Amino acid sequence: MIQRNLLPVLLRAAEQYPVVTLTGPRQSGKTTLCRQAFPDKPYLSLEPLENRAFAQEDPRGFLAQFPTGAILDEVQQAPDLASYLQDRVDREPFPGQFILTGSQHFGLSQAVSQSLAGRTAILHLLPPSLDELRRFPDPPMDLFDTLFAGSYPRIHDQGIPPARWLSDYLATYVQRDVRQVLKVGDLMAFTTFLRLCAGSTAQELNLSRLAGDAGISQPTAKAWGSVLETSFLAFRLPPWHSNLRKRWVKAPKFHIFDSGLICHLLGIQSPSQLRTHPLRGAIFESWVAAECMKVHYHQGRQPAAFHLREVSGRDIDLVIEDGPRLRLVEVKSGQTLDGGWLKPLLSLQQELAAQPEASTLDTTLIYGGEQPQTRQGVQILPWTSVGALGPAEG
């Protein structure tokens, strides 16, 4: 298995806190990372019913098995365990005792916020970023091969065809996680909703339209969308506002995290089909936005990422705040540069630079080509340099 970028962050957190909580989607590599980072710690998953019952029925006896701590996997299965962990680490507050992992962020976050606040570091592990994928023995090198395969590590580690693995992954996710959390009776309606969300990736979130198209109520669409976010299948970019007297569109932009999952949900069956698909640009934009999130999370940082659109139509795909630095990012899937792509960046840069308290501004274009350039002060980066959207060093 490849080394993950989060590894040094995880080790450092275990030197500072008695508990470290690692969340992320199913199959993102959480268990592998924790066992790699702490090979001498006992490991136990709460997924098996007998382990879960022990933790739920006799939590003190369960924790007594691990006098020096342990890796406890899928701890959202026994949320009350956090209260007993609090008592344990308050009595014995040495760092690095327990490493908790969980796939359902919503089940884990509530227990952590109530019982382990101030006692645990919270980290997020997403599927590998592009630079991590390149550590596998035979990674995809072409843009459309990369987008089609997505980032889930088992696809690349074991050479499983993406369509086969993602089909199984979705079936497990819908049948187990969604049914468990939402008590959804009509799983077909949820699957339809999920496919509609894939078709709406990189668009402003319109719950009324999604609900109508899926044949469900708007409150149901809101609840289902929240589950996609809290289980790390999707995320929202909130709108960004400056002090300029402009009319901004206030709706968040919706993104599915994994490009391979988007392709699977849309019925795209090959990289060549993706190359000419009408949603190619939207899929590429979501991939870039997800890579930005990954490079922040895998450095232990909370991304401050937004989007911007004016009523007049001017649109900036990503606005990234990093301390005093403000980065404006446009995303284009085309492989041949078009000077018109720079116009929104240049016009907004000029307006923001004229403000009395202007931030340090960077303008970046990420495109589907291969050659880096600089035009009119705009840094033009090929898709392979998407990792440059991470936080500044130090």
Query: Do 110 and 155 belong to one domain?
Result: no
The predicted structure's pLDDT at residue 105? 59
- Angle at CA of residue 107, ends 236 and 212, nearest 5°: 45
Query: Do 170 and 200 belong to one domain?
Result: yes
pLDDT tens track for 279-307: 999 999 999 999 999 999 999 999 999 99
The predicted structure's pLDDT at residue 1? 77
pLDDT tens track for 158-215: 999 999 999 999 988 776 777 666 666 677 888 899 999 999 999 998 999 999 999 9
CATH number of domain containing 60: 3.40.50.300
| pLDDT, mean of residues 339-344 | 92
Q: Are 147 and 283 in contact (CB under 8 A)?
A: yes
The predicted structure's pLDDT at residue 154? 95
**Rounded Cα–Cα distance for residues 155 and 122 (Å):** 27
| pLDDT, mean of residues 230-239 | 91
Give percent of the chain above pLDDT 70. 93
Query: Do 107 and 20 belong to one domain?
Result: yes
**Rounded Cα–Cα distance for residues 145 and 139 (Å):** 9
| pLDDT, mean of residues 17-36 | 94
The predicted structure's pLDDT at residue 241? 76
> Is residue 240 situated within a structural domain?
no
The predicted structure's pLDDT at residue 244? 56
Burial 185-204 (b: 16+ CB within 10 A, else e): eeeeebbebbbbbbebbbbb
Query: Do 174 and 116 belong to one domain?
Result: no
Q: SS3 for 98?
A: strand
The predicted structure's pLDDT at residue 107? 57
Query: Do 263 and 161 belong to one domain?
Result: yes
State the alpha helices, DSSP H only, in 200-250.
207-214, 218-230
Q: Tell me the pLDDT of the chain averaged across its residues.
A: 90
Helix (H) or strand (E) holding 269: none
> Is residue 63 situated within a structural domain?
yes
Query: Do 66 and 108 belong to one domain?
Result: yes
| pLDDT, mean of residues 236-245 | 77
Q: Which of 69, 91, 124 is the last residue of a domain?
A: 124
- Whether 242 shows a pLDDT value over 70: the answer reads no
**Rounded Cα–Cα distance for residues 107 and 92 (Å):** 26
> Is residue 229 situated within a structural domain?
yes
> Is residue 2 situated within a structural domain?
no
The predicted structure's pLDDT at residue 77? 86
- Whether 102 shows a pLDDT value over 70: the answer reads yes
- Whether 87 shows a pLDDT value over 60: the answer reads yes
Query: Do 79 and 142 belong to one domain?
Result: no
The predicted structure's pLDDT at residue 167? 93
* Residue of 239, 224, 212 whose CA lies nearest to 317: 239
- If one compares 13 and 181, the residue with the highest pLDDT of the two is 13
- If one compares 183 and 255, the residue with the highest pLDDT of the two is 255
| pLDDT, mean of residues 32-58 | 95
> Is residue 369 situated within a structural domain?
no
Question: What angle do helix axes 105-115 and 81-91 make, rounded to 10 degrees?
Answer: 40
User: Facing residues of 306 across strands?
Assistant: 319
> Is residue 385 situated within a structural domain?
no
Query: Do 269 and 229 belong to one domain?
Result: yes
> Is residue 107 situated within a structural domain?
yes
Tokens of 278: 């009408």
Query: Do 98 and 169 belong to one domain?
Result: no
Q: Please identify which residue in the block is written with the tokens 């894939």.
A: 198
**Rounded Cα–Cα distance for residues 96 and 91 (Å):** 14
Phi, psi angle pair for 176, to nearest 5°: -100, -60
- Which residues span the domain enclosing 273? 130-235+256-278
pTM: 0.93
Query: Do 40 and 104 belong to one domain?
Result: yes
Q: Which of 76, 99, 124 is the last residue of a domain?
A: 124
User: How many Cβ atoms sit within 10 Å of the Cβ of residue 172?
Assistant: 12
Residue 65 CA, chain-centre distance (Å), reads 34
Burial class (CB in 10 A: 0-12, 13-18, 19+), 248: middle
For the chain, the domain total comes to 2
Q: Which of 124, 154, 185 is the last residue of a domain?
A: 124
Burial 52-65 (b: 16+ CB within 10 A, else e): bebbeeebeebbee
State the alpha helices, DSSP H only, in the chain.
7-14, 30-37, 49-57, 59-64, 81-91, 105-115, 130-133, 143-149, 153-158, 162-172, 179-182, 187-199, 207-214, 218-230, 259-266, 271-275, 280-297, 343-353
| pLDDT, mean of residues 256-274 | 97
Question: What angle do helix axes 280-297 and 259-266 make, rounded to 10 degrees?
Answer: 150
The predicted structure's pLDDT at residue 261? 96
Query: Do 26 and 159 belong to one domain?
Result: no
Which of 18-27, 127-136, 201-210 has the highest average model confidence (pLDDT)? 127-136
Query: Do 189 and 104 belong to one domain?
Result: no
| pLDDT, mean of residues 99-119 | 74
- From first CA to last CA, the distance across the chain in angstroms is 29
* Residue of 363, 381, 377, 356 whose CA lies nearest to 308: 363
> Is residue 269 situated within a structural domain?
yes
